[in-house]
Structure 1
Amino acid sequence: MKLRMPDRASEALARTTLGAAPDRVDVVVVGGGSAGCVIANRLSADAGTSVLVLEAGRADLKIDPFIHMPAALPFPIGSRFYDWKYESEPEPHMNGRRIYHARGKVLGGSSSINGMIFQRGNPMDYERWAADPGMESWDFAHCLPYFKKMETCRAGADEWRGGSGPLILERGPATNPLFGAFFAAAVEAGYPLTDDVNGYRQEGFAKFDRNINRGRRWSAARAYLHPVMNRPNLHVRTLAMTTRILFEGTRAVGVEYTQLGATHTVRAGEVVLCGGAINTPQLLQLSGVGNADELKALGITPVADVKGVGEHLQDHLEVYIQYASKQPVSIAPGLKYHNRPKLAADWLFFRKGLGATNHFEGGGFVRSNDDVDYPNLMFHFLPIAIRYDGSSPIKGHGYQVHIGPMYSDARGTIKITSTNPMDKPAMRFNYLSTDQDRREWVESIRVARHILGQSAMDPFNDGEISPGPSVETDEEILDWVRKDAETALHPSCTARMGVDDMSVLDPLTMAVHGTQGLRVVDASAMPYVTNGNIYAPVIMLAEKAADLIAGNTPLPPSDAPWYNHRAGSPLHAPTKAT
């Protein structure tokens, strides 16, 4: 069988990557990541609107297995060819550790290197958004139509799930016996199963949706950008790093960018920043939009005094709780070096086997205490004991859960430290800095152990290997978290929507307060992080923002019900008859 060659969209991309870029467009999109791909697709659908996408990373060529093979995800993370390789400042409540943060350095952004787990978050997340002044149009009823618009859920479309969108989702098979035992153990521990964590009821355990299409990663670039690359009014430039927003007064009129050592400028009617929760506040600050006093201290002339830029940083922290397995049922043997040629061949020629899945095929959401209104813990189950870097604490078989609180009230910052765009900003997340955060961390470990200690796991349970039985008291648990926890890679909220003095964006237009012609569409716009992986909420936000920017009539709100245990909602979705 012949190796598949790049499709026409990839060839078009290769032709345009280093070609002459237009020097004037209607819209310049800074960042070809998850949100940028959506914005480029939707705005360029109007043939009369010229759009230029500037991506600082490289092209996501279709023949690159480290991007497109789902099981290859450990390879791009940590590689300078795919990953910007950020680190936090020494975290004061994490023993001074610098926490590593992977960010995609390639078209598609982090959607080209992430774990491909698709979680919308809970409907109550968006009710929380909408409770803030000026945010009323961001409640779940108004967001659900955009969640449906963006997706093709192969498990079936209904009033909660879409069936004709560009983002294709496959549900994890979760056929390994360890998944069955884990789901049974959750029920034994008193937690429910649910039909679909992205449907009527998130709370509970189920098979997970993944952005995988027939054994290939289905990134935002593959879903939104490549199918429209031949539009004459759409231009994409990779290896093009935006270094400054150009202003006339307080109006953004274009950007400056570098490509292969040369500096270029492009004029634009609208500048849309889609660089993510780290790069967007960095570029705003470099360009004079931020806390005026801090900018002046660096020698930057303020354009707009927007004090919320780089504030309110939120993220999810997680740990792995790992067990040895009595039975040889984990996927560990298939991932060993001597079996990797077969894994690669099965994927390359047939799109099947261990290479065709991200292995995060199931998990769940639960409440750790009675004070929370909706799930504050997320579980990812994995039928192997392994870290993202490929290291394992055992030579034999094992399994693990990834666990962490979803609603920490810790807040951090992203601040530039110089006027050099190549200098990475200072990031401080302040993990474990609050009483609530520390309490829920202890609860999360105890809930995970309670589930994994149920009799349903007995045929496999050969003992906890991490953190191990020596970690038991509250303080021992927190000490272990300080030493072992990693980011779940969900930075967000650093240019949040709102109308108060510390907000950055107008919720009705995505425009940056105090400026004209400048908008932000990415995870930085979120007012609060959602309870799950943030890729799906970012795509939804971008779909809705595209309508706001284009002046389209927003999709009408949905009347689909959703589960709320405080309100006494039925456990199962009500039928039309009720």
Structure 2
Amino acid sequence: MTASSRASAAGEFDYLVIGAGSAGCAVAGRLAETPTTSVAVIESGGPDDHYLIWTPVGLAKTVVKPGPYNYGYNSEPQAALGGRTNYQPRRRVLGGSSSLNGMVYIRGHQRDYDDWAALGCHGWSFEDVLPYFLRSENNPRFAGTGNPWHGTDGPLYVNDLRSPNPFAQSFLKAATQAGHKLNDDFNGADQEGFGYYQVTQHNGERWNAARAYLHRGKTTDGRYNGGRPNLHVMTGAQALRIVFEGRRAVGVVVARDGVEQVLRARREVIVSGGVFNSPQLLLASGIGPAGQLRALGIDVRQDLPGVGENLQDHLDIVINTQLDSTDLFGATLRGGLRLFKEMRRYRRDRTGMLSSNFVEAGAFVKSRPELERPDLNLVFTVALIGNRNMGSRRKLGHGYSGHICVLRPESRGSVRLHSPDMRDAPRIDTQLMTAPRDMETLIAGIHIMRDVFNQPALRSLGGREMKSESFADEASLREFVRAHADCLYHPVGTCKMGAANDRLAVVDPTLRVHGFDGLRVVDCSIMPTLIGGNTNAPAMMIGEKAADMIRAAAH
């Protein structure tokens, strides 16, 4: 019997990674590269080998409502949004949210990471984290070019879209007509401008974090497997609480197939449940604000006020243009017939509309010219998309939309417990748009996007702007924002990284939980502030960097 099989049989491993999201996959995959190290990944969801996950447009089904791959949380009612709740899709599948997202590969602005270092997160400047972005990335566009901003042999495939939509090209032409510059690489030396997104795809299929870091090779029936005897992936296993011996984390209690069991870690327990579930697990384990824990009958192991605080998410709103073209997605008979043809094309060569991520092009722009970096992200979508009070898909028909996203909102929310049971949803209070500056920045972005939409390259194609009456005056525009603004599903910050003298810091710059040995948090919850872009690539960077810090500590 090998050491690995003995570890598996005994339920004891060197490392326990709780959560197989983007960061969890990265840290587990890298730790398992040492053959003598046993790693167990504990995932509450199931496998990721389903056509709705591999096919890029499948996200239209997996994101919109709760299901087998999506917890589909909802926030508390938000006073600044007229009492509306925010929908919060969160993964319950290998690969985490990288199995459900729009596959956009964005690192954020370089200054975002320098800001972290200035806040006391030493070792997290852009110069420090860039090598980990490069190590993870496999971008064929830059192979052999010596481009210093991109990696070409990492496990995460990053590609240009195979079949860009003609309306996305019209959007970029309209941007130049409005006086904006184009940018063919948002992850290069300069983020500002309009251009196509790079996406985490390979051969027209979604390339999620599980494919990048957990799967190795294919079996004869086409299904992926781990391929490493020292890497154990446990699906359908719900973590309930962390087990301690004194101040050291030594394991976790999990529920699997209705049976509770204790899994033990010889070296470290790595919490990687994501921005909502990581603080939830710490709280359920007695780590967090003492008053909250006592009110729920939880024994206080460590009074750590920052657990669950500092929640941030990108503030977003959508403007839509209805246009009867089957080049754009829409729930109509004609659209269905077009998609039937596109299915045959996708099965044949993995190109066409089914390889689209919907959000094909976008921009990073400044709401005010004096800013030193973009504070807005504009996203062009080849379908009509909005929040739940915009109308049914069938009623909306075909069209295109523009997301306007505030990159660094000032509003801060929280995550707390409804009950000590991890199987209950956490209490999410986004506090969206409670900071006045967020509304002003969003309105500036709406004006920029509408100016682009009104240029000849798009306007000549026809179409009807939806809710156009909302833009008639300032009061109507503000009411539109209150009625339709929402999160962009990029939450961060609830296990904030910081120095010991930071009252809200949960982990130190090596991601160790303050006050404990053998316990780290490795996911986007450790971000002290939001980065200027999508959070998936940074999550994998965090996992990559954490693996090096963990290995260094072991030696």
Q: Which residue of 1 aligns with 2:31?
A: 43
Write the deviation string for residues 375-396 of structure 1: whole angstroms up to 9, x where unpaired. Answer: 1111111233345889448666
Structure 1 pair 71–409 and aligned structure 2 pair: CA distance change class (3 A): same
SS in 2 for 1:445: helix
Of 89, 96, 107, which aligns to 2:76?
A: 89
Q: Which residue of 2 aligns with 1:444?
A: 445
Q: Which residue of 2 aligns with 1:527?
A: 528
**Is the 1:173–1:361 Cα contact (8 Å) retained in structure 2?**
no
Write the deviation string for residues 139-188 of structure 1: whole angstroms up to 9, x where unpaired. Answer: 11111111111001122141001100100011125643322221122122
Q: Which residue of 2 aligns with 1:144?
A: 130
Q: Shift of residue 334 of structure 1?
A: 9.5
Q: Shift of residue 224 of structure 1?
A: 0.7
Q: Which residue of 2 aligns with 1:55?
A: 43
Tell which deviates more after alignment, 348-357 or 31-40. Answer: 348-357
Structure 1 pair 517–55 and aligned structure 2 pair: CA distance change class (3 A): same
Q: Shift of residue 329 of structure 1?
A: 4.7
Tell which deviates more after alignment, 394-403 or 438-447. Answer: 394-403
Structure 1 pair 396–503 and aligned structure 2 pair: CA distance change class (3 A): closer
Q: Which residue of 1 aligns with 2:416?
A: 415
SS in 2 for 1:404: strand
Q: Shift of residue 132 of structure 1?
A: 0.5
Q: Which residue of 1 aligns with 2:108?
A: 121
Q: What is the identity, as a one-letter code, of the residue corresponding to 2:153?
A: S
Q: Which residue of 2 aligns with 1:430?
A: 431
Q: Shift of residue 330 of structure 1?
A: 3.2
CA distance in 1, matches of 2:392, 2:357: 17
Write the deviation string for residues 535-577 of structure 1: whole angstroms up to 9, x where unpaired. Answer: 0111111111110111089xxxxxxxxxxxxxxxxxxxxxxxx
Of 37, 48, 53, which aligns to 1:67?
A: 53
Structure 1 pair 472–441 and aligned structure 2 pair: CA distance change class (3 A): farther
**Is the 2:496–2:506 Cα contact (8 Å) retained in structure 1?**
yes
Q: Shift of residue 21 of structure 1?
A: 5.7
Q: Which residue of 2 aligns with 1:356?
A: 355
SS in 1 for 2:81: coil
CA distance in 1, matches of 2:342, 2:99: 20
SS in 2 for 1:321: strand
For residues 116-265 of structure 1, the aligned pairs below 5 Å read 116-133=103-120, 135-157=121-143, 158-173=147-162, 175-227=164-216, 229-265=226-262
Q: Shift of residue 131 of structure 1?
A: 1.2
Structure 1 pair 300–382 and aligned structure 2 pair: CA distance change class (3 A): same
CA distance in 1, matches of 2:319, 2:244: 50
SS in 2 for 1:136: coil
Q: Which residue of 2 aligns with 1:309?
A: 307
Tell which deviates more after alignment, 377-386 or 44-53. Answer: 377-386
CA RMSD of aligned residues (A): 2.3
Structure 1 pair 164–475 and aligned structure 2 pair: CA distance change class (3 A): same
Structure 2: 5+ residue stretches without partners: 217-224
Q: Shift of residue 124 of structure 1?
A: 1.3
Q: Which residue of 2 aligns with 1:271?
A: 269
Structure 1 pair 173–207 and aligned structure 2 pair: CA distance change class (3 A): farther
**Is the 1:347–1:356 Cα contact (8 Å) retained in structure 2?**
yes
CA distance in 1, matches of 2:338, 2:15: 48
- Taking structure 1 as the reference length, the TM-score comes to 0.88
Q: Shift of residue 449 of structure 1?
A: 0.9
Write the deviation string for residues 348-406 of structure 1: whole angstroms up to 9, x where unpaired. Answer: 34322211221322111000113532111111112333458894486664221111211
Q: Which residue of 2 aligns with 1:297?
A: 295
SS in 2 for 1:75: helix
Q: Which residue of 2 aligns with 1:559?
A: none
Match status 1:102 vs 2:83: no
**Is the 1:69–1:347 Cα contact (8 Å) retained in structure 2?**
no
Structure 1 pair 279–335 and aligned structure 2 pair: CA distance change class (3 A): farther
Q: Shift of residue 321 of structure 1?
A: 1.2
Q: What is the identity, as a one-letter code, of the residue corresponding to 1:427?
A: I
- Taking structure 2 as the reference length, the TM-score comes to 0.91
Structure 1 pair 219–21 and aligned structure 2 pair: CA distance change class (3 A): farther
Identity %: 39
**Is the 1:152–1:164 Cα contact (8 Å) retained in structure 2?**
yes
Of 33, 37, 40, which aligns to 2:21?
A: 33
Tell which deviates more after alignment, 222-231 or 307-316. Answer: 222-231
Q: Shift of residue 200 of structure 1?
A: 1.1
Give aligned pairs, total: 532
